Structure 1
Amino acid sequence: MDAAKPLIGLLDEPGAYRDALADTIARDGLAVFAAERLEDLPADTVLVVAHAQAIPSLEWASLTERLPTVVVSDSRLDADLLTAVDVGLVDYVVEPMRHGQLLRRMIRKAIELRQLEDERNHDRERLAQLNMHLEELNESLETHLALLRLDQQAGGHIQRKLLPPHPQTIGGVSCDYWLIPSLYLSGDFLDFQRFDERYTLFYFADVSGHGASSAFVTVLLKYLFNRWLGEWDAKQPEELPTRWLAALNRELLDTGIGKHATLFVGVIDQQLHELHYSLGAQLPKPLLVADGKVVELPGEGMPVGLFPNVEYPRLTYRLPSNFRLWLCSDGILECLPGDTLDMRLRELERRVLNCTTLERLRDSLMLDIPPDIDAEGDGGGQELPDDLTIMMLSGFGNDHE
């Protein structure tokens, strides 16, 4: 089906001249409707061809506001033509009968330009509507982000409430730590508890990833370790860490959440000055400082929550009278200089050897984070590449500087 022809309105007094002009316009497939007044033209008129003498001087402006207009005149000196030009009309043809082809081209060009202008106006309207919609979406997103931020901050506050008080001393062994999440919630977690007058238990965990899902696992750790601690009969302390890691490995696999962790679990025998422990791929490895030397605690172990039926090592280490035991999550490696992992581990050894307090090691990292951020309830607007936690145990007669 052919597209409808554009309808051209012709405004002129009735007569042979108007009829001839209508025929001239219609030769290239344009539809023409002749009338004496603008009000008589059909609503679907797309353009007006007006004789300069057919429109009163005061009506030119209102005509051009409604429709694209081409003016025709028999003389370039026609006073009415000059009036039309004065109000802004620039499309006109003198002696249209002689220049019919030019007139038709001007008509089609004017229609094209009007269509382009209509499309631009339509695009501007759509863009304005889109911008308004985007502003509404952005406002909604900001609201949801604010709610999420408050929720994360509340979750971080609850998570920190599950941590042990610090610093604290139990049976001659002191514990202090510094935990800073990469944003609000942390995948790092630790605990330090008295069992009885002889035994103190602690663990240090780094759950894979960070954020809400990893933080949920730390809550599970807290629950499980408290449950297992309540079931322990204080017999075979050397067996406890390896049993706990094996049980936790089964629990994480059974949940099917796809999370694993590196862990260090220790039992301190305050009577015999012995540390019974087991490792689950802890990196960096625990560092013991005594007598001016730093050593890695021996032992290896698989990550917890990755593979079934894993056996974890049962290890015992005789603790010196004065010692400092440092445990760090792998987030500390992001804060140390060095092009390789080995260089960063050696740098960590150097720093723990020279730092007699947790504050000194923390300050040596030169992070732009308030030192008491773990007591403030959020990450202070700082976003680290990974969660960062440092835990230091010292005893039995170690003097803090």
Structure 2
Amino acid sequence: MDRPNQLIGVIDVPGKARDDLAEAIARDGLAVYATGHADDLPAGTALVVAHVRAVPRDDWEGLQRRHPTLVVSDTREDDDLLRAVDVGLVDYIIDPLRHGHLLRRMIGKAIELSRLEEERKADRERLGQLNTHLEELNESLETHLALLRLDQQAGGQIQRKLLPTRPQTVGGVSCDYWLAPSLYLSGDFLDFQPFDDRYLLFYFADVSGHGASSAFVTVLLKYLSNRWQAEWDGKHPEALGPRWLGELNRELMETGIGKHATLFVGVIDLERRYLHYSLGAQLPMPLLVADGEVMTLPGVGMPVGLFPGAEYPSFGCELPENFRLWLCSDGILECLPGDTLDKRLKELEQRVNDSKSLDDLRESLCLGDLPDDDEAVVEDGPGHEKLPDDLTIMMLSGFGNVDS
């Protein structure tokens, strides 16, 4: 505290007693202004030392509101002293000239307390302003979140419109699927459509991450798959998957968006009952169920969108008379028991072997209570609190399993 800058007002009747009181206060270098009336005090008075004989008893309350005030008196029995104390003045001292050192200490303490009170008041005002600002920001944030939610819901609706009709049967092969985004938009995507009377084309994709950025990649997948299908001449079906994955890998690398995907691309030859396929690091691997046995489709392939110049081999297998081909995104692993990946994959094999339909597998994973309707799935998102990630299951069945 810089005491010379502190102006102390002394209110007392004119005379030697007032002069002595002012001199006692000024000994520590404090500036003192002595007056007989409170109205004469100059602006900037830091504290008032008022003698009870100089202030009418009805004026104490008004004085206390304007300035921190110390009351001095020659005797403790003065009724006006009690009145001054009752209105809440800072403190009082009896016989101040005898206790000058104590008076100056009390003045210093009172000034410091007044300063702290002013700071607390300023802090409260700043806090009130901050709270008002935070309330405005929160209201703005809630408005933006509501708009974002509407945008996400609209995006989810559009994304699901790009998915194939479910269920559907083409050339003796049925396709059904269930896609549950952990948010409104999904990084999982799939397609199933006939090329002509002989070939069926399908793919199953899981884009890294989830949400809007991953969903944009699924739209790119849809666009590119349609373009490449239109360019295919229907010859060498074994080459379609490798070509598609290779070109998709190049497209994703060139976008520079930092997204990659795992994919399974399949071409079913309905005449030969044969599956041509290529893999882009699909996990879990596709499972083929026939005659009560489960087989993991063999093959390897690099993730799509990570390694420039990656090549993707072609694989193939005969399709039995009665088969079920299961494809699942890696979100399904979170729904399976087991403390290792191998144990969860073995559990998945057992469950798909025991499941005759998509609903059977969902029930076995305790997912039967989640929405099955496309609109409900979108509107409930993000409502799949059970799902830590997007989860998609796709099942193709034929030829004798069409009606099963």
With normalisation by structure 2, the TM-score equals 0.96
Structure 2: distance between partners of 1:211 and 1:90:
63
Residue of structure 2 equivalent to 1:396: 399
Q: CA deviation at 1:369?
A: 5.2
CA distance in 1, matches of 2:326, 2:63: 88
Q: In the alignment, what sits opposite 2:75?
A: 75
Does the CA contact (< 8 Å) of 1:180 and 1:373 recur in 2? Answer: no
Name the counterpart of 1:17.
17
Distance 1:82 1:348 in 2: 87
Cα distance in 1 for partners of 2:67, 2:388 equals 63
Task: Identify the residue that residue 51 of structure 2 maps to in structure 1.
Answer: 51
Identity of aligned residues (%): 72
Q: Distance in 1 between matches of 2:160 and 2:126?
A: 50
Question: 1:221, 1:287 → 2: CA distance?
Answer: 23
Offset from partner CA, 1:7-44 (integer Å, 9 cap, x none): 01011111111111110110011111011111110110
- The Cα offsets for residues 251-292 of structure 1, whole Å up to 9 and x where unpaired, read as 111212221111111111111111111111111000000000
* Cα distance in structure 1, aligned partners of 2:61 and 2:137: 42
Paired residue for 2:214? Answer: 214
1:392 counterpart letter in structure 2: M
Unaligned ranges ≥5, structure 1: none
Structure 2 stretches lacking a partner, 5+ long: none
Following the alignment from structure 1 to structure 2, what is the Cα–Cα distance between the partners of residues 87 and 224? 84
**Aligned pair partner of 1:382 in 381, 384, 397:** 384
Cα distance in 2 for residues equivalent to 1:354 and 1:228: 37
Please say if residues 184 and 211 of structure 1, whose CA atoms lie closer than 8 Å, have aligned partners that are also in contact: yes
Task: Write the letter of the residue equivalent to 2:315.
Answer: L
What is the aligned partner in structure 1 of residue 115 from structure 2? 115
Bigger shift: residues 6-15 or 364-373: 364-373
8 Å Cα contact 2:3-2:30 kept in structure 1: no
Q: SS where residue 306 of structure 1 aligns?
A: coil
* Corresponding residue of 2:360: 360
Equivalent residues in 2 for 1:140-179, closer than 5 Å: 140-179=140-179
How far 1:106 sits from its partner (Å)?
1.1
SS at match of 1:349: helix
The CA RMSD over aligned residues, in Å, is: 1.4
Q: Give the count of matched residue pairs.
A: 400
For 2:346, the equivalent position in structure 1 comes to 346
Closer, same or farther: CA 196–224 of 1 in aligned 2, 3 Å: same
| Secondary structure, aligned partner of 1:53 | helix
Give the Cα–Cα distance (whole angstroms) in 2 for the partners of residues 217 and 367 of structure 1: 27
1:261 partner letter: A
On the 8 A contact 1:369/1:380 being kept in 2, the answer is no
Shift of 1:382: 2.5
Deviations 1:108-140 (A, max 9, x none): 111111111111111111111111111111111
**CA distance, structure 2, for counterparts of residue 130 and residue 380 of structure 1:** 32
1:26 aligned partner, one-letter code: A
CA contact 1:9–1:33 (8 Å) conserved in 2: yes
Equivalent positions of 1:75-94 (< 5 A) are 75-89=75-89, 91-94=91-94
Q: Do 1:204 and 1:327's aligned partners in 2 also have CA atoms closer than 8 Å?
A: yes
What are the Cα deviations for residues 74-96 of structure 1, in whole angstroms up to 9, with x where unaligned?
A: 12222322332333346111111
Name the residue aligned to 1:246.
246
Distance 2:72 2:236 in 1: 111
**Aligned counterparts of 2:369 and 2:306: Cα–Cα separation in 1:** 33
Aligned to 1:129: 129
* Counterpart Cα distance in 1 of 2:192 and 2:21: 101
